[in-house]
Amino acid sequence: MKFKSLFAILLLFILFSCNAQTSENIKTVEVAAFAKEIKTTPKPQILDVRTPEEFATGHIDKAKNIDWQNENFVKNTEKLDKNKPVYVYCRSGKRSQKASEKLSALGFKKIYNLDGGYLKWNAETKTAQ
Angstrom distance (rounded) from CA 110 to CA 88: 11
Backbone φ and ψ of 26, nearest 5°: -110, 125
CA–CA separation, 71 and 60 (whole Å): 23
Burial class (CB in 10 A: 0-12, 13-18, 19+), 121: buried
Based on the residue annotation, tell me whether 90 is a catalytic residue of this protein. Answer: yes
User: Active site residue: 31, 88, 90, 111, which one?
Assistant: 90
Which residues does the annotation mark as catalytic? 90
